[in-house]
A and B are shown apart, each in its own frame.
Chain A
Amino acid sequence: MKGFPMNTSLVNTLLMLPALLLLAIVFAWPLLDSAWLSTQASSVLTGLAPTANGGANWQRLLGDARFWQDAAGTLRFAVVSVGLELVLGLAMALVLHRPGRGRGWLRALALLPWALPSTVLALGWRWIYNDPYGPLNSLLKLFGAPAYGFLTTPATTWLFTVLADVWKTTPFVALLLLAGLQSIPAELEESLVLEGASPSQILRRLTLPLLRPWISLALMFRLAQALGVFELVQVLTRGGPAGSTESLALYAYLNAMRFLDFGYSATLVVATFLLLLLLTAMGWLLLRRRPLEISR
């Protein structure tokens, strides 16, 4: 595994140009546009026309308790759901990697939740959590327990958004890790077995170290997605109860589409991007170093 050596030869640079151009158009341009808009007052009060307001949006952001609360909430959601997805996804990948009858079917089946559109999934979970008629509360009733407000308890509702997200996205993580598992030569494991290593030793000494690049790939992917979580909360909770599950993306969306405050919405978008950049950089630094030493 050689990282990603920066080759400065002219040919390579030229070959990368189209891709870079595409990235600039679909990624850098909207971001720069948002960065510019975040320095403007552009809302229903200005007739939607942008006029420079000297950083007032950013000043407002720093003092906006709702922004900080949403940022903390979004972070909590992302860290917990991605953490669970990695653990469960690894377990799932190990099971799916075992040779056996019907493995193809099992793999296809395991992917189903991921193939579901988020909106449909959120509607489904909304019913599962329904109070008093949903299946979970029916189950509680069966055991004589009182109904629980899965979507009406500000302290715990975020956990149930995590559960819905984990249910949907674990297969995606499992798929990535399964690809990683299949890239590990079978002989390595066999030789360790011959040496008398236990399964848990094999997992710790061989599988996990060799899987590290794949884990970090899954982590990056999922962290970026989870920090931008939108449809799930929009449909499942609308950010409630009491704003406890509002994500940064939902807040930015409300500002743009409901409040018609595009200046502030753009500010939220840029702030979310900066946060994401910071986190992925941290994750990258944390996971990038060691695999090389161990896998050699």
Chain B
Amino acid sequence: MSIAQFQAYGYFILIFLLVVVLYSYIYHLYTKKKDADGVDYESYSNMALKDDIDDTPVSAISEDKEK
């Protein structure tokens, strides 16, 4: 397979995959509306609006050692 063919196939496959990922992302956002932690995506806007250091975080880093 020549480099040009490789390039063409690689390009097509990657674009196709990314289109699938992008559309499933859109589908996910607008059907579920909430992420897996149960936080509504729109409430993340409050990260800017309530950003004093003693404001409660929208979703605080939990106690378990998740990084």
Q: Do A and B bind each other?
A: no
User: Which residues of chain B have a CB within 8 Å of any CB of chain A?
Assistant: none
**A residues at B contact (CB < 8 Å):** none
